[in-house]
Amino acid sequence: MEIRLGYDIQFQVPAAAPFVAMLNVHPSRARDLLEPDRLRIEPDVPNEQYLDGYGNICTRFVAPAGLLRLWDSTLIEDSGDPDAQNFEAREMPVAELPSEVLQFLLSSRYCEVDLLSNMAAQLFGNVPPGWQRVEAVCDWVHRNVTFGYQFASCTKTAADVFRDRAGVCRDFQHLAITFCRSLNIPARYATGYLGDIRVPPLGLPMDFSAWFEVYLEGRWWTFDARHNTPRVGRVLMATGRDATDVAITTSFGSAWLSHFAVVSDEVAAPMVNAGGYSLA
């Protein structure tokens, strides 16, 4: 299937400020793009693209004072399959993990492993290790945390979510990531597009989404404590230790968000008649 992706993000910038934007589809999905995936910046300013330490595409530029618009529209091919599952996937002993994976066992800005390790052991220590244990973490977070945009806070950490039992999608993932790391399961934060594709629409404003990935059986697997069910049409943009590493925009100066729109829609296939030509 094909998915139309896009965004239109606008800021009022009171004085010239450097920016870093992380708005491209992840390089692992580059081969699936059917149209160019290019960050468009208005006004047109010089910019430089680079890969960060996690392999995400970043664009740096200096925004002049005034209205700044960041936008793009692209088309991607997707298998149409739900998130892959392997109920037999095993945890790997820490001593056997690849060196580059070890960082995803440690505390980070929003994931305080040291504060929640004892609780993770109490809640999940008796659950069989591997896929079943990660599912138990997702089930617990999904059942015990209430979703609501009114609970959003840029300073909320996993420990705060555990205490308050409320948050937005990133908070669900931070708490699940922290529990997994506390159980010696490498876990990393992921962000990207997740439209209401082949599921009943939730009636909420479209936004970029958050989920997380765990390292089992020698590879990364997708989990989502917010929705807690395999989904179709998930398009990765970036991964990191937590939300700090994958911010869609970072400004080194004041910038006031004035417009935000995201699109992630399945493109209907054209109808074909018996003669083999399109009716669209």
Give burial (CB, 10 Å; 0-12/13-18/19+) of 256: exposed
State the pLDDT at residue 219: 97
pLDDT for residue 279: 43
Distance CA 118, CA 179 (A): 10
For the chain, the farthest-separated pair of C-alpha atoms sits apart, in whole angstroms, at: 66
User: Is the pLDDT score of 189 beyond 80?
Assistant: yes
pLDDT tops 80 at residue 202: no
Would you state the pLDDT for residue 268?
Answer: 83
Which comes out higher in pLDDT, residue 230 or 203?
A: 230
Distance CA 112, CA 138 (A): 17
Going along the chain from its start, the domains and CATH numbers come out as 2-80+247-267 (2.60.40.2250), 94-245 (3.10.620.30)
Model pLDDT for residues 206-263, shown as the tens digit of each residue: 899 999 999 999 999 999 999 999 999 999 999 999 999 999 999 999 999 999 999 9
Instruction: Determine the pLDDT at residue 280.
Output: 43
Nearest to 183 by CA among 230, 140, 154, 145: 140
Q: Look at residue 205 in the predicted model and tell me its pLDDT.
A: 76
Query: For the whole prediction, is pTM greater than 0.95?
Result: no
pLDDT score for 48 = 98
- Is the pLDDT at 277 greater than 70? The verdict is no
CA 101, CA 28: separation in Å to the nearest integer?
Answer: 17
CA distance 168 to 132: 25
Q: Quick one: pLDDT at residue 18?
A: 98
Contact criterion met (CB below 8 Å) for 94 and 184: yes
pLDDT number for residue 275: 53
Is pLDDT of 94 > 80?
yes
Averaged pLDDT of the chain: 95
Q: How many CB atoms lie within 10 A of CB 136?
A: 17
Q: What is the mean pLDDT of residues 133-154?
A: 96
pLDDT in tens, 44-78: 999 999 999 999 999 999 999 999 999 999 999 99
Say if CB 158 and CB 177 are below 8 A apart.
yes
Strands 219-223 and 209-216: antiparallel
Q: What mean pLDDT comes out for the span 167-185? A: 98
Q: What is the pLDDT at residue 270?
A: 63
pLDDT of 272:
54
Query: Per DSSP, what are the bridge partners of residue 65?
Result: none
| Tokens (6 digits) for 233 | 């049409």
SS (H, E, C) the chain: CEEEEEEEEEEEECCCEEEEECCCCCHHHHHHECCCCCCEEECCCCEEEEECCCCCEEEEEEECCEEEEEEEEEEEECCCCCCCCCCCCCCCCHHHCCHHHHHHHCCECCECHHHHHHHHHHHHCCCCCCHHHHHHHHHHHHHHCEECHHHCCCCCCHHHHHHHCEECHHHHHHHHHHHHHHCCCCEEEEEEECCCCCCCCCCCCCCCEEEEEEEECCEEEEECCCCCCCCCCCEEEEEECCHHHHCCEEECCCCEEEEEEEEEEEECCCCECCCCCECC
Contacts of 203 (CB under 8 A, 6+ apart): none
Find the mean pLDDT for residues 180-195: 98
